[in-house]
Structure 1
Amino acid sequence: MSPETPADAVDDTDERDLPEPMARVLGEYERHLVSERDLTAHTVRAYTSDVAGLLEHASRLGGTAVTDLDLRTLRSWLAKQQTLGRSRTTLARRATAARVFTAWLVRTGRAPVDVGASLGSPKAHKSLPPVLRADEARDLIAAAATLADDGSPVGLRDVAMLELLYATGIRVGELVGLDVDDVDRDRNVVRVFGKGRKERSVPFGRPAARALDFWQRQGRPHLLVEGSGPALFLGTRGKRIDQRAVRTLVHRRIAEVPGAPDIGPHGLRHTAATHLLEGGADLRSVQELLGHASLATTQLYTHVTTDRLRRAYQQAHPRA
């Protein structure tokens, strides 16, 4: 599930309208997601909202317990979502949420048959946002560095965050979750906790290392307050910076680069992956760096690099 869930990802479902047996199981499922699967609050909220929507639909059809779920109910629920104009990506994700839920029901003895095992779902369109060219990425950092020449704490912080996002391709949620001790300057690697609290180490280069040093020595001490804690990146009030502030920063800085597409932190992640592959990195290494659970996700970036090669060939080759 994407860390940037679409606006239509949450059903307007009031869980209090559910029959008591359904509401009770939904609460137990939410506790399972939190305590046993250790999912993020955002992911738990999205999963439980999807399942709540399914149970609400089932109750309107006369169901009162999770054992009343059947394949026809699941299919009619998805069909209703389609008539409401939900995207293929949202439909695919909700079908997955239903299958995970019905499998859990069987595994925990709450239902005799996994009715979701045969539930199909439309294939989501796997499209990537635009990415920066290498020169645009350099201009982005250079523009931010120019504004930070006065040594202001916020300017030094912004440069360090941009350098680290581009150098590592980490997610914005992973960036804001970093603590000071997660940065290993001896080896120039950063320890990241990704989806499902899976830990990985991601290397970064000398430019990012220099920017981090400036920030930690000359910027961060000026923003420290009593409640700052170990957070690596701080907001103007001294607390751990939030994702919204980082997204605003990235969009604002990229707007200063002539001709660059308007992308956010996730676009910088795609940019990093694309440039790694164009520079000769193998897919498996890029998969590890980005923290993708499946190599198929990483393979999406090969389409970007192939398209660029094709355009370059058509523009440059006399017999293209």
Structure 2
Amino acid sequence: MRGFAQLLSGFLLEYVPRRRSLSENTAKSYRDSFAILLRWLADGRGIAPDDVRIEDLSRENVESFCLWLSDVRGVCAATVNVRLCALRSFASYVSFTEPAYLEWASALRAVEFSKSPSGEVEWLPVEAVNLIMESASSDAREHAMLGLLYDSGARVSEIANARRCDLRLDAPATIRLSGKGRKVRIVPLCDQVAGMASAYLAATAGAPDSPLFVNRSGKAIGRAGITYVLKKHVAAAHEADPLVVPPTTHPHALRHSKAVHLVEADVNIIYIRDFMGHSSVKTTEIYAKISSKSRQKAVEKAAANLIMGSAYGEEDKSAIMEWLRNLL
């Protein structure tokens, strides 16, 4: 039976890049995750890298490692989940190649992903949204549902309550949404999403006043139904690229994502307020703060990349970082 070192080598050199065909960035993230874990085992548990056994990656140790990442290194929940994803994927690989470790693998895969702290707005980068839409593209109904949910910045209840007549697909395409306090707003749709909606309407029948999306019983789809569709395609997109797409999310995260993306595109904050249906611009300003934080993280990441194995001298690094900050 192979030990930890042999299994990790097979996982990183054979399974991840060849059998799973994951991207180079994801493969690098997996390698980094194990490098950090091995360093933690050495410093925190006194286990040298050459002495690590499969049993040392116990559920207790992995949970402690995740807490250390969050509490000591100060990384966000999303980054903790990226590290945990690598470990869980390794457990799946080991369970298939060495069935004797099935019980161990099951315990490790039971470690839960971190949740964003209360008050932290969850949103997805454009790349993640694209991967989710790509997963749903083979189903006209689900493709249109998720496309409208994101592109209109709608609340899940607004899409669930929408009628076929609320869609106007002649240029410029729009959707009419009934929001909080029975407020109605007309939201523009991009050509791509208008095409998704057009394809869906053409493939389905229904009176103009009938629900836009129905469930298997022919009744208007509910929040749970939309959430199920989203989670299904998020899981598929996460499988395709776990570094970009989180393991799970919720419909309101697409609304947050649209708002952040509008801010990042330098759209006027007053327009975004009206687009999102906010009663006060103060609510909309939250997304401007999020966008600023994401830009700052990009600068910090660039700094980390410069520091690790960089050919630049300290003076060069300082000049480059100053240039990056001026872009914010």
Q: What TM-score, normalized by structure 2, do the two folds share? A: 0.53
The offset of 1:212, in angstroms, is 0.4
Partners of 1:180 and 1:231 within 8 A in 2 = yes
Partners of 1:247 and 1:265 within 8 A in 2 = yes
Partner of 2:141: 157
1:182 and 2:170 matched? no
The CA deviation string for residues 186-229 of structure 1, in whole angstroms up to 9 with x for no partner, is: 221111111111111101101111110111001x22xx5x9x95
1:233 and 2:213 matched? yes
Partner of 2:126: 134
1:198 and 2:183 matched? yes
The offset of 1:257, in angstroms, is 1.7
Please identify runs of 4+ aligned residues in structure 1 that moved more than 6 A: none
Question: Structure 1 244/289 Cα, relative in aligned 2: closer, same or farther at 3 Å?
Answer: same
Question: Structure 1 189/128 Cα, relative in aligned 2: closer, same or farther at 3 Å?
Answer: farther
Partner of 2:257: 271
SS at 1:269 equivalent: helix
| CA distance in structure 1 between the aligned counterparts of 2:230 and 2:250, rounded to whole angstroms | 6
Q: Which runs of 5+ in 1 are unaligned?
A: 1-124, 149-154
Map 1:25-44 to 2 at 5 A. Answer: none
Partners of 1:129 and 1:263 within 8 A in 2 = no
| CA distance in structure 2 between the aligned counterparts of 1:128 and 1:160, rounded to whole angstroms | 28
The CA deviation string for residues 34-63 of structure 1, in whole angstroms up to 9 with x for no partner, is: xxxxxxxxxxxxxxxxxxxxxxxxxxxxxx
Partner of 1:116: none
The CA deviation string for residues 234-284 of structure 1, in whole angstroms up to 9 with x for no partner, is: 112211111110011111211122322221110000001011110111111
Given residue 281 of structure 2, which amino acid in structure 1 is its aligned partner? L
| CA distance in structure 1 between the aligned counterparts of 2:199 and 2:162, rounded to whole angstroms | 17
> Cα RMSD over matched residues?
1.9
The offset of 1:314, in angstroms, is 2.1
Given residue 121 of structure 2, which amino acid in structure 1 is its aligned partner? P
Q: 2:284 aligns with which of 295, 298, 319?
A: 298
| CA distance in structure 2 between the aligned counterparts of 1:129 and 1:177, rounded to whole angstroms | 25
Question: Structure 1 211/235 Cα, relative in aligned 2: closer, same or farther at 3 Å?
Answer: same
Partner of 1:33: none
Q: What TM-score, normalized by structure 1, do the two folds share? A: 0.54
Aligned residues: 183
| CA distance in structure 2 between the aligned counterparts of 1:250 and 1:201, rounded to whole angstroms | 24
Identity among equivalent positions (%) equals: 27
Partners of 2:123 and 2:256 within 8 A in 1 = yes
Partners of 2:161 and 2:211 within 8 A in 1 = yes
Q: Which has the higher helix share?
A: 2
| CA distance in structure 1 between the aligned counterparts of 2:183 and 2:118, rounded to whole angstroms | 24
1:243 and 2:229 matched? no
Partners of 1:166 and 1:269 within 8 A in 2 = yes
Map 1:5-44 to 2 at 5 A. Answer: none
| CA distance in structure 1 between the aligned counterparts of 2:230 and 2:291, rounded to whole angstroms | 23
Given residue 174 of structure 1, which amino acid in structure 2 is its aligned partner? E
Partners of 2:165 and 2:209 within 8 A in 1 = no
| CA distance in structure 1 between the aligned counterparts of 2:118 and 2:284, rounded to whole angstroms | 11
SS at 2:177 equivalent: strand
Partner of 1:44: none
| CA distance in structure 2 between the aligned counterparts of 1:202 and 1:229, rounded to whole angstroms | 19
| CA distance in structure 1 between the aligned counterparts of 2:209 and 2:158, rounded to whole angstroms | 17
Partners of 2:136 and 2:143 within 8 A in 1 = yes
SS at 1:191 equivalent: strand
| CA distance in structure 2 between the aligned counterparts of 1:290 and 1:169, rounded to whole angstroms | 6
SS at 1:256 equivalent: helix
| CA distance in structure 1 between the aligned counterparts of 2:120 and 2:275, rounded to whole angstroms | 18
Q: 1:168 aligns with which of 128, 133, 152?
A: 152
Given residue 239 of structure 1, which amino acid in structure 2 is its aligned partner? K
Partner of 2:271: 285
Partners of 2:160 and 2:221 within 8 A in 1 = yes
